[in-house]
């Protein structure tokens, strides 16, 4: 059997990111074959993931980044089992590395992220390797990219909630983009404005308002009118432009945007929060 030195173990650790004892054991079992030892560590990462398939990987980080030109931004979620691992610096760095690479490669969806190659490995393989290090189930949970003339993003302290937003004009105010992204994160709008509210949501809220009025004993002939009023209230409170602005509660978000640029329009946004 080949002699396994501390330098050999350190070399494999640098190649895989696995723990010292895991690297030593893998080298011993493969008689010092680095390539096979890497495969063994990767396989054990998969075995851990499969063994814990019934465990819920509901912890993790939700992060957002923009590209260098501020014309694309994305949200990425890397899941794990415990808050302890979610706060680990190596875990967070892995999430940031994957997101940066996905933005640079102009990856469009989560499947694209999974198969993206970093240092000769897919992102899925990198995550499984890290799973072998921590002993926890991990997974790529969510990815959404947006493109616009200017984008902004926000990560709430703790990295459990992130948002991205795009507007219709280049060179938009960073202050405004930051405020919009924070509004989206904090107030969770369902659409940009009433015009962009999905028809099925509009119909559902109208019917809810109508049924509530009927149960309150309101006359049949005014149920539709009451329902329309309640729908209007829903739109104001749940669409981005109609909401009270958290930066200035005397203004709606639409009015706040107009203070910066009357022709500026939000064209797209996204938000993701990890459940508590």
CB-based contacts of 155, cutoff 8 Å, min separation 6: 62, 63, 64, 161, 162
pLDDT of residue 58: 80
Closest CA to 118 of 134, 143, 95: 95
Say what the pTM is: 0.80
CB-based contacts of 143, cutoff 8 Å, min separation 6: 74, 75, 76, 77, 102, 107, 109, 110, 112, 113
Q: What is residue 151's three-state secondary structure?
A: strand
Please, are residues 242 and 253 in contact by the beta-carbon 8 Å criterion?
A: yes
Distance, in Å, from the CA atom of 1 to the CA atom of 42, rounded to the nearest integer, reads: 22
pLDDT block averages, 10 residues each, the chain of length 276: 81 75 87 85 64 66 96 96 91 96 95 93 90 86 97 96 97 96 95 94 91 90 94 94 95 97 97 84
pLDDT of residue 198: 92
Q: Where are the beta strands (DSSP E) in the chain?
A: 59-66, 72-80, 117-118, 121-122, 139-147, 150-155, 161-167, 266-273
pLDDT of residue 51: 56
pLDDT of residue 131: 85
pLDDT of residue 15: 73
Supply the DSSP symbol for 245.
P
């Amino acid at each position: 059997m080949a002699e396994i030195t501390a330098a050999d173990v350190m070399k494999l650790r640098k190649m895989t990111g696995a723990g010292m004892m895991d690297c030593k054991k893998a080298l011993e079992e493969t008689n010092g074959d680095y390539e096979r030892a890497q495969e063994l560590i990767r396989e054990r990462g998969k075995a851990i993931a499969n063994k814990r398939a019934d465990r819920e990987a509901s912890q993790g980080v939700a992060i957002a980044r923009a590209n260098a030109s501020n014309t694309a931004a994305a949200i990425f979620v890397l899941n794990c089992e415990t808050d302890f691992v979610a706060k680990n610096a190596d875990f967070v760095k892995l999430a940031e590395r994957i997101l940066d690479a996905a933005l640079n490669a102009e990856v469009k969806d989560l499947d694209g992220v999974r198969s993206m190659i970093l240092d000769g490995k897919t992102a899925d393989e990198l995550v499984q390797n890290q799973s072998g290090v921590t002993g926890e189930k991990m997974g790529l949970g969510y990815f959404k990219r947006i493109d616009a003339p200017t984008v902004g993003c926000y990560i709430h302290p703790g990295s459990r909630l992130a948002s991205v937003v795009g507007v219709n004009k280049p060179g938009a105010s960073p202050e405004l983009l930051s405020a919009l992204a924070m509004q989206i994160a904090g107030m969770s709008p369902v659409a940009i404005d009433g015009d962009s509210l999905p028809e099925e949501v509009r119909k559902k809220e109208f019917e809810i308002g109508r049924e509530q009025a009927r149960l309150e004993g309101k006359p049949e002939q005014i149920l539709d009118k009451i329902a329309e009023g309640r729908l209007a209230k829903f739109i104001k409170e749940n669409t981005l432009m109609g909401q009270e602005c958290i930066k200035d509660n005397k203004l709606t978000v639409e009015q706040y945007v107009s203070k910066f640029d009357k022709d500026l329009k939000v064209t797209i946004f996204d938000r993701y929060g990890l459940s508590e």
